[in-house]
Amino acid sequence: MTTKTSILISFVLIAAAIIVGVLLSAQLPDPMPSHWNAAGEVDGYTSKFLGIWLLPLMTAGILLLLAFLPMLDPLRANIEKFRGLYNAFLLGFTVYMLYVYGLTLAAALGWQFNMTYMLVPVVGLLFVGISFLLQNAKRNFFIGIRTPWTLVSDSVWDKTHQLGAQTFRIAGVLVIISTFFGENGLWLLMVSLLFAALLPVVYSYFAWRQEQSETGK
């Protein structure tokens, strides 16, 4: 997927979401639900104006930032090697954010559902999607598992990201499974996220140490 296609589709979806929010404005309460606890129950509210506009505009802003950052990277040529997957990630991120927006509007309209059950499985799927991006990422300064040890060695980068792809994949599945444990599943979710994020970071240091030992440095 090209960058232009990804950005164009993303902004069409964002514009469509804003139009839906504006059209529903008369039916939406003020304030609107804006935050849910671990049990999936509303525990925070915001004004109707922010409820309609904040999330889509925030999504657009983050999307532009993520699309622009690779242009500043001294290792941009490496990013181009997996740019198609990165562009697909940008579109997936947009869809995820707008899914959250849709759930927020639905809750404000009085639809009855458990936000945790609706949201957590999609977070798991997002982690699985990220795993494919990590698996194909090449060394750069903005995208991937950037530690002092991965940034100085292509070999350490590749080994760390192959492991990271597996931990994110496993974490994604565990996050989906956590949905079936209700509030107790929060612990499984947190452990899964820590597992996915921390293990590759720690591994990158030992992979670098091993490489230094093998090269006699």
Question: Does residue 8 have a pLDDT over 80?
Answer: yes
pLDDT band at 217 (very low <50, low <70, confident <90, very high): low
Any idea what DSSP says for residue 114?
-
Report cis status (omega within 30 of 0) of the bond before 31.
Answer: yes
Q: What is the DSSP string of 63-93?
A: HHHHHHGGGG-TTHHHHHTTHHHHHHHHHHH
**What residues pair up with 46 in beta bridges, in sequence order?**
32
Given a contact cutoff of 8 angstroms between Cβ atoms, the answer to whether 21 and 50 are in contact is no
**Cα–Cα distance measured from residue 198 to residue 205, given in angstroms and rounded to the nearest whole number:** 11
Instruction: State the maximum Cα–Cα separation within the chain, in Å, rounded to a whole number.
Output: 70
pLDDT tens for each residue of 142-194: 999 999 999 999 999 999 999 999 999 999 999 999 888 776 777 888 888 89
Distance CA 84, CA 90 (A): 10
Pair of tokens at residue 122:
């999609």
How confident is the model over 123-137, as pLDDT tens digits? 999 999 999 999 999
Q: What percent of the chain has pLDDT over 70?
A: 98
Confidence (pLDDT) at 40: 77
Q: What is the rounded CA–CA span in Å between residue 85 and residue 77?
A: 15
- What is the pTM assigned to this prediction? 0.89
Query: How many angstroms separate the CA atoms of 180 and 160, rounded?
Result: 31
22 is written with which tokens? Answer: 């504006």
